[in-house]
Structure 1
Amino acid sequence: MNSESNLLPKAHVPGIPPIVDLTLEQIAAGLDEEQFTTEDLVSTYLARIAEVNDEFNAVVEINEDALIQARELDEWRRTQGRKSILHGVPFLLKDSIVTTDKMQATAGSLVLIGAKPSREATVVTKLRAAGAVILGKANMAEWANFRADTTLAGWSPRGGQAKGIYYRGARPHVSSSGTAAAVRLGLCFAAIDSETDGSMVKPAQAHNIVTIKPTTGLVSRASCIPLADTLDTIGPMTRFVKDAAKILKVIAGKCIFDAVTDKIPHDFEPDFNAVCSGITLNGIRLGVPTNFFRDEFPESVLETFARALAVLEEAGASVVHEANIVGVDEYMQLDLWSKEVVMHTDFKTSINRYLQELHTNPYGIKSLDDLIAMTKSIPEEEATSRGTELWEAARGTTPDDANYLFAKEREWRLGNEEGIPGAIKNLKLDALLMPSVPKQSTHFAMFQGTPIIAVPLGFYPADQPLKKRTNGDVYESGPNFPYCLSIWGERFSEEKLIRIAYCFEQLWTPKVTIQPFRMPITELKDWSAF
């Protein structure tokens, strides 16, 4: 991993807050007022990565041109003003998001080293146009955690095993573990990530940060390595709701290279920034689908959730309890293959498309069959011990199979009238709220691509017993593990969800605040010349 983070820091300057606590508005103001430069920001983040990445494996690659880009952006600001509020702000990208610079985009795999489509990801192009710095790539579970049931979440042969940051041995959670850890540790200002089924909201919870998982189609997925074209979405990870909203405003919109963005309504002109201005929720109706999490969480979590509901009620919202999702019981009784056949089939179709569209393809892989064979041929992929059984199951699927078509029809029902939108519509709600991210709940948001926001809520008590995951030597829960408030909505209801999330964030006071067990110590003031 290349970086220039060994440069000597500049003189200390008092008065600059810890970099991990800076908001987007504070960074923009600091740059505008010449308290520090983009080069100072990039240097600070590179130094922080160098301090702790050996412990957490959060970052897999540094953009070797990041400091050059920073200096160019500083010169642009001096001579032409800032391009946007993101001008000079450093971002990390999930390793599945393609750039046309020297960095790789491999979804954690060694098979895709050197392989790229002809176009950069639309989301990256938008960030660059807004003046953002692409700092590097974050580690992820290989192939978005879709290779084998035995593979530990957060592992990739390219980046190693990503680690939890609140307890040694804690599960970092599904594919976006590196990006979430990097945001909370202050290894970047923000990150751009993807989700199919929980890959953003679960790591955000595990690392005590904010994420907005947008409606599928609100943000282009063009030139991003897919898990399933019909299900994937792209969104921001940040420390604060308002910052995530501002980033979403920049990256959202239609794209000629992603047909799913055509589903954005013609009259959809949200102002995500404007809804981050008040702390009242008068007229907002919130539902609690108790049947999704009954008996799942300890009393400490439920008590904190009840306190959160009271805060929202004090802000003017009304809360409807037992706003249950009709299809939960049906779905929970399905066998595993009935739940997975759609994702397996769509993965095969999507990855075949992506591989066939590659502009550079050193290994010449064109299909899932090629991918399996090449993965098994590379020792570092550890195919013998870690397996490829999810791929093996996917290779036999076809989109005209009766089981697939029946499952698609069922998922349409469970994603509409018998799912989250149905509960919201039938009870005239604005959103649903749940403590944490209940098991299999993200499936219901995946079915029809409905949005979720995760906001930090609390921490398990210090005497919470450690609980190991059944298929790995990692801890699922334990002392001081964070959990979130999750906010669920209908398609393209992000404006409502952001308003609720922002209001809650402003009013909420957690009983305790726990820091990761190891944090970098390099600060922006160590580099600033002002």
Structure 2
Amino acid sequence: MPFPSAAPPARAEADPRPDLDLDGTTIPELVDLMETGALTAVELTRAYLDRIATVDRQVRSVLFVNPEALDQAAESDRRRAGGQALGPLDGIPVLVKDNIDTRGLGTTAGSRALCVPPSDDAELVGRLRAAGAVVLGKTNMSEWGNFRSAWATSGWSGVGGQTNNPHVLDRNPCGSSSGSGAAVAASLAQVAVGTETNGSIVCPSGQAGVVGFKPTHGRISGDGIVPISTRQDTAGPVARHVVDAAILMSVMEGRGVDYAAALASDPLRGARVGVWRRAGHDAEADRVVEEAVDVLRRHGATVVEVDLPHQGRIEAIGLPALVAEFKHDLEAYLATRPGVPRTVRELIEFNEADPVELSRFGQDLFFEAAKAPPITDPTYVDQRRTAVDLARRSIDEVIEAHRLDVVMAPTNGPAWRTDYAGDPAGLGSSTPAAVSGYPNVTVPAGFAGPLPIGVSFMAGHGADVTVLRFAAAFERAAPVRRAPAYLPTLP
């Protein structure tokens, strides 16, 4: 099969609805419009297809458009007309990161080596289809989840090239769910699915100025997802509104939990929020965090200054553990995909022979993975066990000691210029929740000029509803998100 084109798709056949505020409208509002007959799923899908065909020429976040999208939307309209709508996601266009198996539609993990699409859906894609969602297409990503080279540039893949930050186009979208974050910010779909090993949902969401939720590990099935580490990876929702992220989360999890229903109450008054400032990395981020602290206090929360310990040790032993897991888990996944390389060594050889793959950066992590020990190795076992234990303690002990409901921290600093010299070691706070497997959600909190900065809310194991409630309350208290301006560069 030839490589699918990463060029923007053809313009939608019919004119979109000019009266639709795609940026500001939530899924519940769209459902109300469709229930009253003021909007159809076909009209909504066409509106998003039109934006992909036009706006995405600048952003380059969508790899493949589903040729069946309008047919899926028409089926949704027929169900609704017959009083048989499948729920709040029925007829809602969703983009899916291109490391998630979607039958007949991409799933390259950004690599030209995975040119044969899978024949089956990942379990979470099956849940989207069963809920009536319109699978609109697949989003670009940092190739192999940013795990091919320590000098990789976020948002670049051999299949899709470079995704741009829609707020300032020469700035980086972060990764690895680069396309999902940028596409949602640019209103190219109502919601998108991302995946995270460490920061790959929250960082691109923070830099795009949208909501990104990394749930407790294991809440969403990892079946059919190209892995880095099945012990740490998880899919999660990306959205412009917390309520939309909650609705998508309920469907992807598939356990009957109504996350959106829990958002109505206000948890801020009387709450105790730990603030892990990560101060000194970026003055603009420090300012946004201080403004967020003021918001919490004005709405009745008690703010407690905290520091999460053990971070240096977690990072030092976490990476070699991931390298071992990557080799084991990726090769197990590749065995499910006919017509593609079977081992990390074969991927290295493919890249060396390909004219595109090594054009921007190398594959040093692949070389490390090829010689990594098996996951039965005692050193690896101790690294993974210790990293998880320290990450959990870094959150649990601070929450217990200060009687906290959640911990808030800056998600990101202002996006850096994309220059293919490797991503800078910038501000971030994702590691404790990522390695522990605990929930973490980012929500827009402010701007450094035109560049968004988010804050994250994290808590202990299974506290998914709690962190979403705090994110929703913060969103209501500080509605700072705005649509991107697509500036070519900073003034």
Counterpart CA distance in 2 for 1:494 and 1:327 is 23
Counterpart CA distance in 2 for 1:282 and 1:8 is 48
Distance 1:5-1:42 versus aligned 2 partners, 3 A rule: farther
The equivalent of 1:464 in structure 2 is: none
1:100-121 deviation line (CA, Å, top 9, x unaligned): 2x311110111111142x5411
2:265 to 278, 283, 297: 278
Counterpart CA distance in 2 for 1:82 and 1:49 is 26
2:339 equivalent to 1:362: yes
Contact 2:410–2:428 under 8 Å retained in 1: no
The equivalent of 1:351 in structure 2 is: 330
The SS at the match of 1:274 is helix
The SS at the match of 2:262 is coil
The equivalent of 1:110 in structure 2 is: 112
- Identity over aligned pairs, percent: 29
Contact 2:282–2:427 under 8 Å retained in 1: no
1:236-273 deviation line (CA, Å, top 9, x unaligned): 1000111111111111146xxxxxxxxxxxxxx75422
Counterpart CA distance in 2 for 1:348 and 1:120 is 23
State the aligned residue count.
468
2:87 to 84, 89, 98: 84
The equivalent of 1:247 in structure 2 is: 248
Counterpart CA distance in 2 for 1:515 and 1:371 is 37
State TM-score, norm by structure 1: 0.84
- Residue 509 of structure 1: CA displacement? 4.5
- Residue 505 of structure 1: CA displacement? 0.7
The equivalent of 2:420 in structure 1 is: none
The SS at the match of 2:289 is helix
- Residue 427 of structure 1: CA displacement? 2.0
1:393 to 331, 351, 368: 368
- Residue 276 of structure 1: CA displacement? 1.2
The equivalent of 1:304 in structure 2 is: 288
Which portions of structure 1, spanning 4 or more consecutive aligned residues, are displaced by more than 6 angstroms? none
Query: Which aligned pairs between 1:365-514 and structure 2 lie closer than 5 A?
Result: 365-382=341-358, 386-398=361-373, 399-417=375-393, 419-437=394-412, 439=427, 441-461=429-449, 480-510=450-480
The residue identity in structure 2 corresponding to 1:296 is H
Counterpart CA distance in 2 for 1:357 and 1:136 is 22
The equivalent of 1:263 in structure 2 is: none
Counterpart CA distance in 1 for 2:458 and 2:42 is 38
Query: Which aligned pairs between 1:185-196 and structure 2 lie closer than 5 A?
Result: 185-196=186-197
Unaligned runs of 5+ in 1: 255-268, 462-479, 520-530
- Residue 502 of structure 1: CA displacement? 0.8
2:309 to 314, 326, 336: 326
Counterpart CA distance in 2 for 1:34 and 1:246 is 22
Distance 1:518-1:50 versus aligned 2 partners, 3 A rule: farther
Query: Which aligned pairs between 1:220-235 and structure 2 lie closer than 5 A?
Result: 220-235=221-236
The equivalent of 1:516 in structure 2 is: 485
1:206-259 deviation line (CA, Å, top 9, x unaligned): 1000011101101111111111111100111000111111111111146xxxxx
Distance 1:172-1:487 versus aligned 2 partners, 3 A rule: same
2:157 equivalent to 1:148: no
Contact 1:183–1:190 under 8 Å retained in 2: yes
State TM-score, norm by structure 2: 0.90
The equivalent of 1:7 in structure 2 is: 13
Aligned-pair Cα RMSD in Å: 2.2
Over alpha carbons, which structure has the higher Rg? Answer: 1
Contact 2:411–2:430 under 8 Å retained in 1: no
Contact 1:287–1:432 under 8 Å retained in 2: yes
Contact 1:415–1:445 under 8 Å retained in 2: yes
Unaligned runs of 5+ in 2: 413-425
Counterpart CA distance in 1 for 2:46 and 2:120 is 29
- Residue 330 of structure 1: CA displacement? 4.3
Contact 2:97–2:194 under 8 Å retained in 1: yes
The SS at the match of 1:416 is helix
